[in-house]
C-alpha cells in the first residue's frame, strides 16, 4: 500500500488536475476530427494539444513529449515539500511509444527520454520506463507500490505521457481500431478509439511517511490472457483474474465506481463487460473517460486514476460521455448522467495489447491493513545466454532446437529472441535433473507447461518480466518503412503490433499458457541489481509460482543480446 | 483463374510469413481460419486486406465486409477477379 502525495494532469482540457476535473464536470471534450493531418490518407478523431497549447508547453532543448512530462511533474511537485530532497526519489515513466517520431536518433531510446526528464527535474537515481502497451500507466503504479513498499526509495514520481503522430495513428488505423467520430464507449454504435495526448503525474510515498487521509493504492494485480497479441480473450479471463486478485478480501460494497478502460473498440468493451460481470461488479457504477480525452495510451492509467480520485472526493461518478445505448453483453451499470456517491474507494481496470490486464484498487483514508505478502521460497534459477556473437541466427536456433511453432516466423526480431531464449531456458530447466547441472536443479522434473484453461484455481500463474534498452527498435523501423513513402503507403498491422516491446512477453505467455504478470521495462543499461529488485518485488507481491525474466535487447537482425532466466 | 490462385497463394505466404506451409499443401479451398484449415487470425485478415490494396488496388474498409471473401484462397481470387483495378 502506498500513499498519494500529489497529482497533475496536463492535457488539452487543462494543465492542472483541477482544471481538468472542472472541464470534465462541465462535459467538455477535446476530441476533434482531423482530415489530412500529418499526411495521413484516412481521417481520424483525436484529442490533441492545439498550436497555442503546444507553444506554451514547449521547453527549449526538449522534445514535446519530454516537455509535457517535465511540465506535469514540475506542477505536481509544487504542491509538495520534496523539492530539496530528491536523492531517494525514483522516476517511473509510462509511455507506449515515447519519442517515436525521433526514430533514428539517440532521442528515440525511451530511457534517454526518461534520463533527460529526470535531469530536468533534478533527480539523481536512474529512471525506469514501463512500456506495457495500454496498461503501462497502471503497471507503472504497481511498480511504484512494490519499490516503495520494499523501502528502496522514499518517493516515486509516476509520470505517464503520450504524444500522437503519424506512427501511432496510422498503426491503429491499420488495425481498423480508430474512429473518425468521437468515441462511444460500451455503446451499440461504437466503432473504434480516438488517440489522445496528455501527461499525468502521481507522486507516491510509502504509508510510513504519507498522510493517512490521502488517497492510497491499496491493492492491485496484473494478469495475462495468454490468448492473442491483439484480440482480448472473449470471456475476459485475464481481466477477471486481475480484478479478483486486486479485490481479494476486499468489500465490493465500498466501491464508488469501477473505472473501466472503455476504449470503444468492438471487442475490447465487450470483453470488459463480461469480465466485470463475472467478477460480481455488475451493480457498481461504471465510469470511463475516453469520450473526454480519447485514449491517451501511456498517460491513460495515470490520468484516469487521478480523475477518479478527484471525482470520488467530490462524491461524484463521472458520466460516460459518448454512451447512449448499451452495446455489450456483460451486465454493467453504466450511465451517461452524473451520479452521486458517498463511497471512498474505486477499482481501476485496463487491458492492452500483449494480452495484459491490470486492476488497481484505490481507497481514501483506508483502514490500516497489513499488505498480504505471499511467502516465497527462494528457488534455484536457471539461465540461458544468447548473443549475436555466437553467429547462429535465431531462425537456425529455432529450426535446430525448437521447431513446430510456425508462428515463430511471424514474430519480429525481439519476440523471436525472447521466444528462443525462453524455450531453451525452460527445456534446459526441465531436463536439469538428468544433467550434470543437477546441483542447480529445482527437483521438479517437469513444468506444467501445457496446462490449458482450467478455472482460476488451476491457472498457472507464471510471470514474464522482460528488460531491455533498445525497446522495439527493429520492428519500429520496419513499420516506419511501410508508412514513410506517401506513394507507397501501406501500413502493416502485424508490424505495428510488434512495435510494442511487451508483445515479446506476450508471445512467451501464449506459448506456455502463463496467466501471471507480463511486463516490459526499459533501462538505460543492463543493471543486474535493479532488475533483481524489480523481479523480487514482483514475485513477492504476486506470489507467482514461477517466472521467466531477463534482459533482452535487439538493435538489428544481427546485433542482439539476451540473458533469460527461469525461477521455479 | 488458376494463375491468380497460385499468385495469391505465393503472395499470402510471403505477406503472412507462412514459412512452414508449402505451396503444394496450400489447398485453394481449405478454410483460411479455424483449426481445420490454414489457421489464420484477425491480424492476418488485416494483412491480406493490405495485400489486396497494394497488389490489386482493391480497398476493403473493414474485415466485417469480407467474411465471405476471406473464406479460402479461391473465394479471394474470385473477389479479386471481379474487383481488380490493377492488372
CB A450 within 8 A of CB A427: no
SS in 3 state form for A54-81? HHHHCCCCCCHHHHHHHHHHHHHHHCCC
A348 in the same domain as A392: no
pLDDT at residue A546 in the model:
76
A538 in the same domain as A398: yes
pLDDT at residue A454 in the model:
31
Check whether A434 has a pLDDT greater than 50.
no
Distance CA A19, CA A75 (A): 13
Q: What's the total number of domains in chain A?
A: 2
Select from A389, A400, A415 the least CA-distant residue to A498: A415
A315 in the same domain as A413: no
Select from A245, A230, A451, A267 the least CA-distant residue to A355: A230
Answer yes or no: do B43 and A490 touch at CB < 8 A. Answer: no
The ipTM is 0.90
Q: Which of A9-18, A290-299, B54-63 has the lowest mean pLDDT?
A: B54-63
Residues of A in contact with B62 (CB under 8 A): 176
A109 in the same domain as A223: yes
Give me the residues of A, 196-235, that contact B with CB < 8 A: 228-231
Q: State whether residue B14 sits within 8 Å of chain A by CB.
A: no
A37 in the same domain as A111: yes
A343 in the same domain as A420: no
Q: State whether residue A174 sits within 8 Å of chain B by CB.
A: yes
pLDDT at residue A395 in the model:
93
Residue for grid cell 538489428: A556
Q: Give me the domain span that covers residue B42.
A: 2-83
More confident residue, B20 or A544: B20
Q: What is the mean pLDDT of residues A206-233?
A: 92
Give the cell for residue A520: 516490459
Q: State whether residue B21 sits within 8 Å of chain A by CB.
A: yes
Residue A443: pLDDT band (50, 70, 90) is: very low
Q: Which of A60-64, A101-105, A218-222, A457-461 has the lowest mean pLDDT?
A: A457-461
Interface test with B, best of A271, A410, A482 (most B CBs within 10 A): A410
Q: What is the mean pLDDT of residues A357-365?
A: 96
Axis-axis angle for helices A473-481, A166-174 (nearest 10): 80
Closest by Cβ to B50, choosing from A231, A406, A492: A492
CATH number at residue A529: 3.40.47.10
- A51 lies in some domain: yes
Q: Which of A298, A333, A363 is the last residue of a domain?
A: A363
Check whether A365 has a pLDDT greater than 90.
no
- The predicted model scores a pTM of 0.93
CA atoms in the 13 A half-sphere facing the CB of A555:
9
CATH number at residue B19: 1.10.1200.10
Q: What's the total number of domains in chain B?
A: 1
Count of C-beta atoms within a 10 Å radius of residue A313? 13
- A371 lies in some domain: no
- A369 lies in some domain: no
Mean per-residue pLDDT over chain A, rounded: 90
Answer yes or no: do B43 and A176 touch at CB < 8 A. Answer: no
**Separation in Å, CA of B34 to nearest CA in chain A:** 14
A389 in the same domain as A357: no
With pLDDT > 70 as the criterion, what percentage of chain B qualifies? 92
Answer yes or no: do A406 and B41 touch at CB < 8 A. Answer: no
CB A30 within 8 A of CB A47: yes
Distance CA A226, CA B30 (A): 27
pLDDT at residue B86 in the model:
59
Answer yes or no: do B42 and A230 touch at CB < 8 A. Answer: yes
Q: Where are the alpha helices (DSSP H) in A357-488?
A: 394-397, 413-430, 473-481
Q: State whether residue A373 sits within 8 Å of chain B by CB.
A: no
Check whether A501 has a pLDDT greater than 80.
yes
CB-based contacts of A554, cutoff 8 Å, min separation 6:
A413, A414, A417, A468, A470, A473, A474, A560, A561
Distance CA A285, CA A256 (A): 7
- A368 lies in some domain: no
Q: Where are the alpha helices (DSSP H) in A155-215?
A: 166-174
Query: CA separation (Å) from A38 to A41, A196, A491?
Result: 9, 15, 14
With pLDDT > 70 as the criterion, what percentage of chain A qualifies? 91
Select from A384, A408, A377 the least CA-distant residue to A394: A408
Residue A205: pLDDT band (50, 70, 90) is: very high
Answer yes or no: do B43 and A493 touch at CB < 8 A. Answer: yes
Q: Is beta strand A356-364 parallel, antiparallel or unpaired with respect to A345-352? A: antiparallel
Q: Which of A276-285, A450-459, B12-21, B46-55 has the lowest mean pLDDT?
A: A450-459
Interface test with A, best of B22, B41, B46, B86 (most A CBs within 10 A): B46
A389 in the same domain as A309: no
Check whether A39 has a pLDDT greater than 80.
yes
Check whether A437 has a pLDDT greater than 90.
no
CB A233 within 8 A of CB A225: yes
Distance CA A26, CA A121 (A): 33
Residues of B in contact with A229 (CB under 8 A): 43
Q: Give me the total of CB pairs closer than 8 Å, taking one residue from chain A and one from chain B.
A: 40
pLDDT single digits (tens) A461-491: 789 999 999 999 999 999 999 999 999 999 9
CB B12 within 8 A of CB B48: yes
Distance CA B7, CA B5 (A): 5
More confident residue, A514 or A432: A514
Residues of A in contact with B16 (CB under 8 A): 410, 494
Q: What is the mean pLDDT of residues A142-171?
A: 96
Q: State whether residue A487 sits within 8 Å of chain B by CB.
A: no
pLDDT at residue A333 in the model:
97
A534 in the same domain as A417: yes
Give me the residues of A, 377-436, that contact B with CB < 8 A: 406, 409-410
A519 in the same domain as A433: yes
A217 in the same domain as A356: yes
By CB atoms closer than 10 A (0-12, 13-18, 19+), residue B64 is: exposed
By CB atoms closer than 10 A (0-12, 13-18, 19+), residue A412 is: buried
Distance CA A398, CA A423 (A): 9
Give the cell for residue A360: 488497481
Residue of B nearest to A409 (CA): B17
Check whether A176 has a pLDDT greater than 80.
yes
A415 in the same domain as A344: no
Q: Give me the domain span that covers residue A92.
A: 2-363
Q: Which of A53-62, A373-382, A391-400, A402-411 has the lowest mean pLDDT?
A: A373-382
Answer yes or no: do B50 and A491 touch at CB < 8 A. Answer: yes
Check whether A247 has a pLDDT greater than 50.
yes
pLDDT at residue B66 in the model:
77
Residue of B nearest to A174 (CA): B46
Amino acid at each position: 500500500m502506498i500513499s498519494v502525495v500529489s497529482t497533475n494532469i496536463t492535457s488539452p482540457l487543462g494543465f492542472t488536475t483541477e482544471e481538468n476535473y472542472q472541464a470534465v464536470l462541465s462535459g467538455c471534450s477535446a476530441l476533434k476530427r482531423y482530415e489530412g493531418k500529418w499526411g495521413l490518407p484516412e481521417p481520424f478523431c483525436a484529442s490533441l494539444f492545439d498550436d497555442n497549447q503546444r507553444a506554451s508547453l514547449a521547453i527549449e532543448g526538449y522534445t514535446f513529449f519530454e516537455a509535457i512530462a517535465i511540465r506535469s511533474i514540475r506542477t505536481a511537485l509544487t504542491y509538495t515539500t520534496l523539492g530539496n530532497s530528491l536523492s531517494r526519489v525514483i522516476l517511473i515513466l509510462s509511455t507506449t511509444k515515447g519519442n517515436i517520431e525521433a526514430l533514428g536518433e539517440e532521442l528515440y531510446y525511451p530511457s534517454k527520454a526518461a534520463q533527460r526528464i529526470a535531469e530536468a527535474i533534478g533527480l539523481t537515481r536512474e529512471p525506469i520506463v514501463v512500456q506495457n502497451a495500454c496498461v503501462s500507466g497502471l503497471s507503472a503504479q504497481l511498480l511504484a507500490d512494490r519499490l516503495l513498499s520494499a523501502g528502496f526509495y522514499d518517493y516515486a514520481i509516476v509520470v505517464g505521457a503520450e504524444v500522437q503522430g503519424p506512427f501511432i495513428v496510422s498503426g491503429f488505423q491499420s488495425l481498423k481500431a480508430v474512429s473518425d467520430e468521437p468515441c462511444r464507449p460500451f455503446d451499440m454504435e461504437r466503432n473504434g478509439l480516438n488517440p489522445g495526448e496528455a501527461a499525468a503525474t502521481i507522486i507516491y510515498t510509502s504509508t510510513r511517511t504519507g498522510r493517512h487521509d490521502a488517497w492510497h493504492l491499496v491493492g492491485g494485480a496484473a494478469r495475462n490472457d495468454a490468448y492473442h497479441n491483439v484480440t482480448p480473450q472473449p470471456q475476459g479471463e485475464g481481466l477477471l483474474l486481475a480484478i479478483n486478485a486486486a479485490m481479494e478480501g476486499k468489500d465490493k460494497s465500498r466501491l464508488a465506481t469501477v473505472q473501466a478502460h472503455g476504449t470503444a473498440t468492438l471487442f475490447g468493451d465487450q470483453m470488459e463487460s463480461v469480465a466485470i460481470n463475472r467478477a460480481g461488479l455488475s451493480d457498481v457504477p461504471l465510469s470511463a473517460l475516453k469520450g473526454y480525452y480519447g485514449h491517451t495510451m501511456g498517460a491513460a492509467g495515470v490520468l484516469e486514476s487521478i480523475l477518479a480520485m478527484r471525482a470520488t472526493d467530490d462524491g461524484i461518478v463521472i458520466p460516460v460521455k459518448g454512451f447512449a445505448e448499451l452495446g455489450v453483453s456483460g451486465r454493467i451499470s453504466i450511465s451517461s448522467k452524473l451520479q452521486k456517491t458517498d463511497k471512498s474507494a474505486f477499482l481501476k481496470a485496463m487491458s492492452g495489447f500483449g494480452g495484459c490486464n491490470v486492476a488497481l484498487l484505490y481507497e481514501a483514508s483506508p483502514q490500516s491493513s497489513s499488505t498480504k505478502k505471499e511467502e516465497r521460497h527462494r528457488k534455484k534459477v536457471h539461465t540461458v545466454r544468447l548473443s549475436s556473437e555466437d553467429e547462429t541466427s535465431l531462425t537456425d536456433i529455432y529450426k535446430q532446437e525448437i521447431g513446430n511453432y510456425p508462428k515463430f516466423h511471424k514474430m519480429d526480431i525481439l519476440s523471436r529472441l525472447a521466444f528462443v531464449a525462453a524455450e531453451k531456458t525452460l527445456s534446459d530447466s526441465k531436463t536439469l535433473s538428468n544433467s550434470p547441472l543437477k546441483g542447480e536443479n529445482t527437483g521438479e522434473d517437469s513444468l506444467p507447461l501445457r496446462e490449458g484453461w482450467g478455472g482460476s484455481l488451476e491457472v498457472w500463474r507464471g510471470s514474464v518480466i522482460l528488460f531491455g534498452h533498445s525497446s522495439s527498435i527493429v520492428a519500429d523501423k520496419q513499420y516506419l518503412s511501410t508508412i514513410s513513402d506517401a506513394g507507397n503507403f501501406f501500413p502493416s498491422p502485424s508490424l505495428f503490433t510488434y512495435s510494442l516491446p511487451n508483445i515479446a512477453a506476450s508471445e512467451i505467455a501464449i506459448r506456455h499458457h502463463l496467466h501471471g504478470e507480463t511486463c516490459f521495462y526499459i533501462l538505460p543499461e543492463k543493471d543486474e541489481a535493479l532488475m533483481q529488485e524489480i523481479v523480487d518485488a514482483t514475485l513477492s507481491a504476486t506470489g507467482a509460482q514461477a517466472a521467466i525474466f531477463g534482459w533482452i535487447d535487439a538493435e538489428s537482425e544481427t546485433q542482439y543480446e539476451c540473458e533469460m532466466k527461469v525461477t521455479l | 483463374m488458376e494463375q491468380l490462385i497460385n499468385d495469391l497463394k505465393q503472395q499470402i505466404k510471403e505477406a503472412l510469413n507462412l514459412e512452414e506451409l508449402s505451396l503444394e499443401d496450400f489447398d485453394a479451398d481449405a478454410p483460411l481460419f479455424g483449426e481445420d484449415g490454414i489457421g489464420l487470425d484477425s491480424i492476418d485478415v488485416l494483412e491480406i486486406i493490405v495485400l489486396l490494396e497494394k497488389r490489386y488496388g482493391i480497398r476493403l474498409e473493414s474485415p466485417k465486409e469480407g467474411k465471405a471473401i476471406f473464406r479460402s484462397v479461391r473465394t479471394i481470387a474470385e473477389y479479386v477477379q471481379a474487383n481488380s483495378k490493377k492488372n
